[in-house]
Amino acid sequence: MFETLSERLEAIFTRLKSRGFLKEEDVDTALKEIRMALLEADVNYQVVKQFTESVRQRAIGKEVLESLSPGQQVVKIVHDALCETLGSQNTKIQLSPNPPTVIMMMGLQGSGKTTTSAKLARIFKKEGRRPMLVAADLQRPAAIDQLITLGKLLDIPVFYSKETKDPVGLSMEAVKASKTEGRDIVILDTAGRLHIDEDLMRQLQAIKEATQPKEVLLVADAMTGQDAVNMAKAFNEKIGIDGIILTKMDGDARGGAALSIRHVTGKPIKFIGTGEKIDMLEPFHPDRIAARILGMGDVLSLIEKAQQSYDAKEAERLQKKLLQEEFTLEDLRDQLKKIRSMGPIENLLNMIPGMGKAIKDVKVEEKEFVKIEAIINSMTPEERRNPNILNGSRRRRIAIGSGTSVADINRLIKQYLEMKKMLKVFKGGKKGFKLPKGFPMFNLFN
């Protein structure tokens, strides 16, 4: 996410921060480079112009240029300007005081609208609400079946009909049914098109007038850049939207849509899709995204992801094991499963300040997690708890059972023992301890 833009900006700021004194010309030179970086990232021209003008007005002040660290001050100004461009603060979905809250999802075909509807329903269910999904996309033959499948996966009811061709009537019936069934959230998955046309707009307007949704959310593909921005502008002008969900953000190295869409439409980004899995939809926090773009990490989001995977009792149990040097291969396997549930490991590491550059060339393959789990699962309970008994014949048996090689077994055991040594050092509280080159958890996947 934002990889290309982050690298360009990081290089610019490294040069700025290396200077003890800044002149107005230095700021102008840096802003020219920032302008080019933003334009190459497919950011809307008007957004770039307003952004650089705003930064320049703040950065050429006497208190900045004559401060002890002017380069750092300019970085902070750029960070604040990015926050403003992205929307300043997280904007939540508004809930109706009289249930059900009707949420209307719109977007073009291929934007991930149906999957995003299910992801949103999952979030509401985790919050203790009772959502209902409505298959109001009667244009795409597979849309109904796709939503039914996702509903079964999440144990969320789906209102649908394969007989009717009237999405307006279907949507009205769904809202009535939600009241009798005690559902407090109704998510309408409406039809899309390959491009905007008058028939689509008339249909969406009719659904909106009939159901009076509390929120109208536009689902847009971040990877389409300015096309997504122009599409959002058209939907907002013709139908009216309350917010935007940007999908496929994990594959968008430029970030042009995210940095442009709020300025052009005046509507907030409420969620971003960070992967294909059903749990990869997260609230959009402008300040956190701005920090990611500038390579500052995103510790708050990392903590939230960890809190979703670990409860307090489990964390306490793990801490006790670590302190008593009882961390076994079974515990390692369980922790790897938890890490996998939090999303791609590269994304998690990028949330740690300063880690983005350090792990630039580290590529963690999902299959390596599977390999490690297979190796540990092929051991006996005694072998998992005491790897010292793993002689040659046992290692050959485990390799055959897990579909790996003896070399894979040897590497895993070696890195596991190194991790235990490090944990022992932490327990001893040695001052000045530094992680060794090739931190063992990275080596597990290399």
If asked whether residues 234 and 120 sit together in one domain, one would say yes
CATH number of the domain where residue 289 is located? 3.40.50.300
Domain assignment of residue 350, yes or no: no
pLDDT at residue 445 is higher than 50: no
More confident residue, 384 or 292: 384
Domain assignment of residue 356, yes or no: no
Domain assignment of residue 308, yes or no: no
pLDDT at residue 431 is higher than 50: no
Give the contacts of 409 (CB within 8 A, at least 6 positions apart). 375, 390, 395, 398, 399
Residue 75 — pLDDT band, cuts 50, 70, 90?
Answer: confident
Domain total for the chain? 3
If asked whether residues 203 and 164 sit together in one domain, one would say yes
In this predicted structure, what is the pLDDT of residue 109? 86
If asked whether residues 109 and 219 sit together in one domain, one would say yes
CATH number of the domain where residue 370 is located? 1.10.260.30
SS3 426: helix
- 314, HSE (Cβ side, Cα atoms, 13 Å): 10
In this predicted structure, what is the pLDDT of residue 173? 95
More confident residue, 161 or 420: 161
If asked whether residues 127 and 161 sit together in one domain, one would say yes
Average pLDDT over residues 245-259: 82
Residue 342 — pLDDT band, cuts 50, 70, 90?
Answer: low
Residue 432 — pLDDT band, cuts 50, 70, 90?
Answer: very low
| Spatial strand order in the sheet of 101-106 | 158-159, 131-136, 185-190, 101-106, 215-221, 243-247, 269-273, 281-283
If asked whether residues 325 and 402 sit together in one domain, one would say yes
In this predicted structure, what is the pLDDT of residue 441? 44
pLDDT tens for 148-193 read 999 999 999 999 998 888 999 999 999 999 999 999 999 999 988 7
Is residue 219 within 8 Å of residue 113, measured between CB atoms? yes
More confident residue, 70 or 315: 70
Q: Where are the beta strands (DSSP E) in 24-163?
A: 101-106, 131-136, 158-159
Ordered alpha helix ranges (H), 181-295: 198-211, 226-238, 256-265, 286-293
Residue whose pair of structure tokens reads 């102008």 in the numeric block: 28
pLDDT tens for 87-138 read 878 889 999 999 899 999 999 888 899 999 999 999 999 999 999 999 999 8
More confident residue, 74 or 166: 166
Domain assignment of residue 438, yes or no: yes
Q: Cis (ω within 30 of 0) for the bond into 100?
A: yes
Domain assignment of residue 311, yes or no: no
Chain mean pLDDT for the chain = 82
If asked whether residues 106 and 76 sit together in one domain, one would say no
Average pLDDT over residues 229-242: 92
Average pLDDT over residues 139-144: 85
If asked whether residues 130 and 81 sit together in one domain, one would say no
Domain assignment of residue 349, yes or no: no
If asked whether residues 151 and 259 sit together in one domain, one would say yes
pLDDT tens for 303-331 read 555 555 556 566 667 667 666 667 788 88
pLDDT at residue 217 is higher than 90: yes
If asked whether residues 127 and 19 sit together in one domain, one would say no
If asked whether residues 249 and 290 sit together in one domain, one would say yes
pLDDT at residue 430 is higher than 70: no
If asked whether residues 112 and 259 sit together in one domain, one would say yes
Is residue 412 within 8 Å of residue 402, measured between CB atoms? no
CATH number of the domain where residue 50 is located? 1.20.120.140
In this predicted structure, what is the pLDDT of residue 74? 82
In this predicted structure, what is the pLDDT of residue 210? 94
Domain assignment of residue 436, yes or no: yes
pLDDT at residue 375 is higher than 60: yes
Q: Which burial class, exposed, middle or buried, applies to 390 when counting CB atoms under 10 A from its CB (0-12, 13-18, 19+)?
A: middle
Spatial CA neighbour of 219 closest among 171, 287, 156, 267? 267
pLDDT at residue 370 is higher than 90: no
In this predicted structure, what is the pLDDT of residue 175? 94
If asked whether residues 268 and 333 sit together in one domain, one would say no
SS3 136: strand
End position of a domain, from candidates 86, 115, 130: 86
pLDDT at residue 211 is higher than 70: yes
DSSP element (H, E) containing 347? helix 345-350
Domain assignment of residue 238, yes or no: yes
Instruction: Give the range of the structural domain holding residue 150, as residue numbers without chain letter.
Output: 101-294
